[in-house]
Amino acid sequence: MKLIFTLIIFVICFQLVAQNENIHTSFSISIDNNQRLIQNTTFNFTAIALKSKEIRDFNQIAFIHNSDTIYFSNDLHADENSNYFYSSLIHFDQSISALRLYAPEELSNLEVVLINGSGEYASFSQRKSNSIQNNDCELNGVIQQSEWRDGLPEPNYNRSFTTTENLIVHHSAGSNNITDFTQAVRDIYIFHTQENGWSDIGYNYLIAPDGVIYAGRDPDTGSQDEVMGAHFCGSNSNTMGVCLLGNYETIEPEFSMLESLEGLLR
């Protein structure tokens, strides 16, 4: 359905994070009824999420990017101890600074979270060189944390480990139009650590549509499978979490993605 917008300029109140302000910021906005909001920010971002202490449903709010209208979805795995409700992240292949939002009704008490995961890192498309030990099997083509996390703050905490009895598969939701999956992993890492305040990325592994596997939560010298994550609504004991990058509510995952997932879950 084609949307007709009334264009207005709105004022935003920045609340910059004191640490790592070049990769994460948030600020409050309000949206008038049936309005499209546009503002060039001073912060370049590669991903965006919404949060609110009162609004629970973000499905009717859209981000306008070029000719695409991308609707937010609700983050069903947000930290249950948080004071906020969150949307899932929407990712972009390149950093942008123009904020364009649409809502069909007036909204206040809404905050925007911007993430900048851009940086100098290698392209890992169809990477098949590295390997990682997965219980008794060796998995080929896994991108290590030191590679995809290059240039970002490293986690520094005492890891907890758990015996894996349940394998939990998530999807990241958001847009299926991106091609820079390494940047998407970096976005998620920044969101989990800088916005949620977690020690590390929540998942044990993440899988791109092209089948490339990213090692998630850093186990240091421990097992990648058994480092305890933060992905299953506070019930992470005896689980290993895998995130499929993309939204699979209406489309099927790529065969290469499912093939890699099968290899992980054996």
Q: Give the DSSP H or E segment for 7.
A: strand 7-9
Residue 232 scores a pLDDT above 70: no
> Could you give the 3-state DSSP secondary structure of residue 186?
helix
> Could you give the 3-state DSSP secondary structure of residue 205?
strand
Residue 4 scores a pLDDT above 60: no
Q: Does domain 131-265 have CATH number 3.40.80.10?
A: yes
In whole angstroms, give the CA distance from residue 108 to residue 50. Answer: 12
Fold of 7-115: Jelly Rolls (2.60.120)
In whole angstroms, give the CA distance from residue 157 to residue 168. Answer: 24
Residue 244 scores a pLDDT above 80: yes
In whole angstroms, give the CA distance from residue 95 to residue 186. Answer: 13
pLDDT of residue 3: 33
In whole angstroms, give the CA distance from residue 127 to residue 22. Answer: 29
Place of tokens 């998620």: 188
Residue 230 scores a pLDDT above 80: no
pLDDT digits (tens, 9 = 90+) for 64-118: 998 899 999 999 877 777 899 999 999 999 999 999 999 988 888 899 999 999 9
Bridge partners of 98, per DSSP, are 40
**Which part of the chain has CATH 2.60.120?**
7-115
**Which part of the chain has CATH 3.40.80.10?**
131-265
Q: What is the pTM of this model?
A: 0.86
Residue 7 scores a pLDDT above 70: no
